[in-house]
Each structure stands twice: as structure tokens, then as C-alpha cells.
């Protein structure tokens, strides 16, 4: 499964967060699309509508396990998808912003 390091992500890269609602509400990357892994197949159309045409989908979760599963599924569907290695834990650890829905500082649950 192709992976990318958090430090290699650019601000305008498309990010799909597959963590559950409570994790998302605690804090997430600004601008990420949130579709929990537990709802992913049913809500797949939301991703195809939001993702850039012929663009890469960077999939993130807390540590990289769930996002690897979703990235593999997307690759099987012909989507250019990569797993963000280390997930939101590394995202926060390297100082990337973590926010709540109302823009306040958040944290990784």
C-alpha cells in the first residue's frame, strides 16, 4: 500500500479523514473531508463528488491502520489513494494544526 509522510503533504492536498465522529469532533485537519470508516461504503459517493478529478486522495486516521484499509479499497476502485503514515498522531506531533468544527484548537483523540 503506498504511503506518504505527513511532512510531505502540501496544504492543498486532498485529505480524507476516516476516524469516527467522536475523534473528528475532538480535532481534525482543517479542510479534510470526514467519512467514518464505519460508514465509508454507504457514503462513497460523497468522496467521488468532493475528490479532485484525477487527483490523489490522502487517507488519514489516528495512527494509520484504518486509513490503510480505506486506501487499499480506493486503489481497488481505481482511485489514486495513499495512506498517511502515522495518521493524526504524527500530524499533531509535527505541529500541523488540529482544529474543531468551529475553528478552535483541537486535539487527537
What is the per-residue pLDDT across 14-33, written as a single tens digit (0 to 9) for each? Answer: 999 999 999 999 999 999 99
Residue 13: predicted pLDDT: 97
The pLDDT of residue 1 is above 90: no
Please state the pTM of the whole predicted model: 0.96
pLDDT tens-place string over residues 55-87: 999 999 999 999 999 999 999 999 999 999 999
Domains detected in the chain: 3-97 (3.40.250.10)
Band (pLDDT 50/70/90 cuts) for residue 106 is very high
Residue 104 a catalytic site member = no
pLDDT given for residue 54 in this prediction: 86
- Identify the burial level of 73 via C-beta atoms within 10 angstroms of its C-beta, where 0-12 means exposed, 13-18 middle and 19 or more buried: middle
Residue of 6, 15, 47, 61 marked catalytic: 61
Strand partners, 59: 16, 83
Strands (E), the chain: 3-5, 14-17, 33-34, 57-60, 81-85
Residue 57 backbone phi and psi in degrees, to 5: -105, 120
The whole-number pLDDT of residue 97 equals 97
Amino acid at each position: 500500500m503506498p504511503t506518504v509522510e505527513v511532512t510531505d503533504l502540501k496544504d492543498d492536498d486532498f485529505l480524507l479523514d476516516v476516524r469516527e465522529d467522536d475523534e473528528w469532533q475532538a480535532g481534525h485537519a482543517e479542510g479534510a473531508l470526514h467519512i467514518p470508516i464505519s460508514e465509508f461504503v454507504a457514503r462513497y459517493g460523497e468522496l467521488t463528488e468532493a475528490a479532485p478529478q484525477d487527483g490523489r486522495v490522502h487517507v488519514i486516521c489516528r495512527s494509520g491502520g484504518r486509513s490503510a484499509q480505506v486506501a487499499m479499497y480506493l486503489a481497488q476502485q481505481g482511485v489514486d489513494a495513499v495512506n498517511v503514515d502515522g495518521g493524526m498522531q504524527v500530524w499533531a506531533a509535527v505541529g500541523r494544526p488540529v482544529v474543531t468544527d468551529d475553528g478552535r484548537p483541537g486535539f487527537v483523540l
